[in-house]
Structure 1
Amino acid sequence: KGMKEEYETLLKSYENVSDEAERVRKVLEAARQERQELAAKVRSHEAVRHEAERQAEDAQKEVESVKDKMRKFAKTKQQKILELEEENERLREEQEKSVTKRDNAALKAEAERLQDEAGALKAELEATKAERDSLEQQIEDLKEQLTHTVERNQEMSETPLNHAAVIEEVVTVQRSDTIMTTTERVERKETQENQIVAATETHSLHAEADRTDNDQTLVETREIGAEKELWHEREAELQAELASLKQDLQETKERASLFEKCLLECKEREKGLSE
């Protein structure tokens, strides 16, 4: 009975061991399959890795090729840029030389023009000064003529008074002669007929002479008035001419001042161009 129990125990142990061995076998089988799957996966991953590495290498080669092309392109472009810059610099220098030549020619022409203009202004200024001097001399001459005219007018104004006094004196004398002649004719009624006739003829001659003197005096007075009027007109003309000459002299002075200013500006511009 004890052996039977022991046998049963051993049998159970064996069964347990068999079960455990089966379980271990299954576990090992599962582990083997899992290991195979893992190995397959590893191989697959390795292939993928190799493919990725190959693609990465190809990509790197492509990148290097592109970089090399870019370096060559950049070098070519840089060389082209340098050539263009050199060409541009050469053209700019040529253009500057051309512009400088044109500017120098223009400045030279401008300087010559300014010199000619300055010479013309100098000549015109000298002519203006000469004209001014001539106008001043004309003004002085006109002033002298005007002074002479005023003095002559004053003399003419005094002359009619003196002449009127002379006329009055002549008329008085003539009246005295007439009265004396009449008295003598009354007193000499007893004289002979020929004496009366002679006295009458003498009186007629005196009267005719008086009328002639009166007419001559009137004519002279009219002539003096006309001459005085002419002198007044001449004085007015001289005054107007003097005012006109003064105006011309003022304009001439202004023109001379303007010419001097223009001449100074021309000299300054010429000096600036020469600098």
Structure 2
Amino acid sequence: MRSQSTESATTEHVNRVADYYDANTRRFLRFGESSSNDAIHRGLWTPGVTNPTEAADAVNRLVVERLSGQVPAGEGRVLDLGCGVGATVVRLARAMDAQVTGVTISRVQAEIAEKRLAAEGLADRCQVVQGDFARLPAEPRYHAMVAIESVVHAPSLAELISSLAARLLPGGRLVLCDDWMTGKDRGLPARERCLGRFRAGWRIGSLHTVAEFAAMGESAGLRLLEDLDLTAYLRLGRPRDRAIDLVLAAAGTLPGLRGRLVEMPFWANLIGGSALQAGLSRRWLEYRLLVLERV
């Protein structure tokens, strides 16, 4: 059983994630990389993508392709973990005849998503609930689960995967697209500082290698079917990213200022995003799509 101190730390972390998204979501939608699609996730410039709208949809397209034929028509159930404002929920519902549920820890996101579903005419077979995806009800069980840039927020990925596996039907698929740590330069002080800023800024609870995660999945009854590296399709080092780096570098010269800024959601996003860019460009982190199946 968990100790009281562990439970308290977990609750504190979950609340910090909720506060982060409540404070930042509307800014993400206005100024974010995928704002043209009302999506919060990153754009992918895969072969054939010619504009930001297509780039914003690229992750959704990859997910839909991997769920094609896996969800029974009419009676299928799909769960979007960390669904943001519902853009992927809508995309999944348009692509397949299934009941699609999204869950987000953010009150602000849940409210925006509910309005989106109503406006899209999908409220009859889609819903978004506010809650912690690590504490889902035992029922219903799902034919598929999707998580785009969300599981890294979980305080314990091992506990989360065990919980999710129990809620997947046999043969059900879990499709994840997220940031994964690599073993490159492990122990190098610059690497550890970079990953520390990423964790603090973006409220990261679980940062693992793909191999570590695959072992967790296997223990939970999930078999890794696919591991696709998408890092090369991200656009890193954009002019605005370089400008943010300069501002943060200046802030870092003032004693204690960076530590105070990381507690503020706006600055936390910039600090975490800058560290993420550095980690990805040096391949200390990689952006990968994983597909697992419940055995």
TM-score by length of 2: 0.17
Q: Which has the larger radius of gyration?
A: 1
Return the structure number with greater helix share. Answer: 1
Greater length-normalized contact order (CA 8 Å, ≥ 6 residues apart): 1
Return the structure number with greater strand share. Answer: 2
TM-score by length of 1: 0.18
